[in-house]
Amino acid sequence: MKVFPKFQSENRPLPRRGLGEAFDHNNNTAMEKSRREEILQSRKRAQKKVPFKKRLALFWLELKAYYSHFVKPKPASQVRAVIFAQGRTGSSLLEGLICSTGHFKERGELLGGYRNPFVSCPYPYLSGLSRASPKENFIFHLKIYHLTRDRIRRGEKPIDPGPFLKKLADDGWKIIYLRRKNTIRHMFSNFIVGQRGRYDKLDDAREHIKIEVNLELFEASVEQALEHQRAEIEALAGLDYHEVIYEENLENAARHRNTVNAILDFLSLEHRKVKTFLRRINVKSLEEQILNYGEFCDLLERRGWMKYLHQEQN
């Protein structure tokens, strides 16, 4: 049986373990029955959040995409790219910068979030969407858990990210891999977003946010992020891709132009001016923002994560 990362909900602590087996619909043990019921209830809750008319529209869009995949030819001159990244790594910023050149239109996450979380067959869906717009280049975000954890939550079989990415690459898609080096900062940004109540920042106003970090939840979040990153590297093995590191290529706005130019070279597209309206949310040190900073440092010391704090201080 194929082994997949067993991704849990971010709303509860994760068990301290490595990779687990995906949910097996044929397993009749009491534990699996309980897990099956949990998945079905999760899917029902997810569907209730989406109005019926929107779900109907998404279903119709999916059917049209499948039709385009099987009927329409692949555009010969179209450049298709995927930004492969976790959440809160700067993927919206990166896509916005790339699209500000005029080479692409922003499409965001096509397999998760609020766009279309119910796609049954991701590959023909993406292929069909791109073929339906033959005169435009095509770019979107892909998070590894769109193929694994999110599908398990809906009671569907997970998709192995490695073969999926290889299939995209074999079909001519270009992969842009975005990651953050500092996993502590990466996960802390999620806590800041929870405090702010919104993701993006469009002005330069200073924000004064101080929070008491739930250490158990934070520890579980870092474990999950590191697990995702290991799975990403494994999925990319043997594939041609362009790597972008948030701290080196996006954090400093002065590097945006060179970052995008390198991506355009990778995509064989001409250089153009870049711009963004997004602003960095979190510019203060962790010590200035965390009320229980001493306990926070004790956690990092205990788990061997102090190297990330040293990156923060440097």
In the predicted model, what is the mean pLDDT of residues 165-176?
98
In the predicted model, what is the mean pLDDT of residues 281-288?
75
Kindly report the average pLDDT of the chain as a whole number. Answer: 83
**pLDDT number for residue 118:** 77
C-beta separation of 223 from 304 below 8 A: no
**pLDDT number for residue 11:** 35
Q: Which domains does the chain have, with CATH numbers?
A: 60-284 (3.40.50.300)
Q: CA–CA separation, 236 vs 240, rounded Å?
A: 8
**pLDDT number for residue 60:** 92
**pLDDT number for residue 193:** 78
Please tell me the pTM assigned to this model. Answer: 0.80
pLDDT exceeds 50 at position 201: no
pLDDT exceeds 80 at position 71: yes
pLDDT exceeds 80 at position 114: no
In the predicted model, what is the mean pLDDT of residues 79-108?
96
Q: CA–CA separation, 236 vs 83, rounded Å?
A: 12
C-beta separation of 130 from 78 below 8 A: yes
pLDDT exceeds 90 at position 214: yes
Q: Tokens 């292929």 label which residue?
A: 127
pLDDT exceeds 80 at position 50: no
